[in-house]
Copies of this chain bind each other. A is one copy, B any other.
Amino acid sequence: MIIVGERINSTRKPITEALEARDEVFLLNEARRQWDAGSAYIDVNTAMMRAKEPEVMAWVIELIQGEIAEALIAIDSANPAALEAGFKVHKGRALMNSINMEVERRDAIIPLIAEFKPRVVALTIDDGGISKEADKRYNLGVQLIELLTENGIDLDDIFVDPLIFPVSAELQAGNISLEIMGRLKANFPGVHTICGLSNISFGLPERSLLNQVFMVLALDRGLDAAIIDPLDKRMMANIVTATTLLGKDKACRKYLKTYRSGGLDLTPTT
């Protein structure tokens, strides 16, 4: 499971404040804890910085990579100028978050993909919005895979996000996203599926429980990357446990390693 640590997101108030104040200590602490918890990428979303987005994006990336040399960033913006500013300073191969099939966005982003050859998150949405139909979103995934491979991105560097509606609003919301994941994995071996799965629980109580259980179902259907909070200990424990139960953890080594490092001790600390 490729973990994208989601915490440095400007839609969260403490993050906006830290970005506004250029609070290096706070932001580096957020980055370090997520990195140590097993993130493959640290997502940086600067949307709330508006006109200053490109400048702030570049600043945060240099800040994090200056402190954690091996860290890679998921450059998360709807603003092509912010994406470009991020790619220009990023060392190593970044993850672009994200492209979709909205014509204007797609056309602005393709040249950046051709230039910087990042790994890419591809959202199954177009100018019609997010469809409730599994076939429609699956087909958008296929179109995005074709578009990205035509622009020199390998399947192993494409992360298709099937998107998720809340199960409180739509009884089949979970099944539809799970079905899309399964079809993409079956028909495009090598491609990744990714999900920011907390939307599934919107409108219901005990959202963490829903998210943690949905993660296990998604792993069963082939989800192999996730945009999550890697400090959610039970989420991470569910991931390693399901991976072991699904026969992908030789001699249960990762499970036992997680156990020995305290990662399976889920008693709340007081």
Contacts and interface: CB of A to CB of B under 8 A. Distances in A.
Interface of A: 167-168, 171-175, 200, 204-206, 209-210, 213-214, 216-217, 220-221, 237-238, 241-242, 244-247, 249-252, 255-256, 259, 264, 266-268
Contact of A171 (B173, B213, B247, B256): B247
B264 A175 contact: no
Given A171-B249, A205-B256, A210-B244, 6 more contacts: A171-B251, A173-B247, A204-B255, A209-B237, A216-B216, A217-B242
Contacts of A205: 256, 259, 264
Contacts of A217: 216, 220, 242, 245-246
24 contacts: A167-B244, A167-B247, A167-B252, A168-B252, A172-B247, A173-B247, A174-B245, A174-B247, A200-B245, A204-B252, A205-B264, A206-B259, A209-B237, A209-B241, A209-B266, A210-B241, A210-B245, A213-B216, A213-B238, A216-B220, A216-B242, A217-B220, A220-B221, A267-B268
A258 to B, nearest CB: 9
Nearest to A268: B267
Nearest to A205: B259
A250 B170 CA distance: 9
A264 B209 contact: yes
Contacts of A204: 252, 255-256
A247 to B, nearest CB: 5
A237 to B, nearest CB: 6
| Residue among A175, A238, A245, A250 with the highest chain B CB neighbour number at 10 A | A245
Contact of A245 (B167, B249, B252): B167
A245 B213 contact: yes
A251 B251 CA distance: 42
B213 A242 contact: yes
| Residue among A205, A210, A216, A250 with the highest chain B CB neighbour number at 10 A | A216
A209 B214 CA distance: 15
A203 to B, nearest CB: 9
Contacts of A267: 268
Nearest to A175: B247
A259 B201 CA distance: 14
A220 to B, nearest CB: 5
Nearest to A260: B205
Nearest to A241: B213
Contacts of A266: 209
Nearest to A270: B270
A220 B210 CA distance: 15
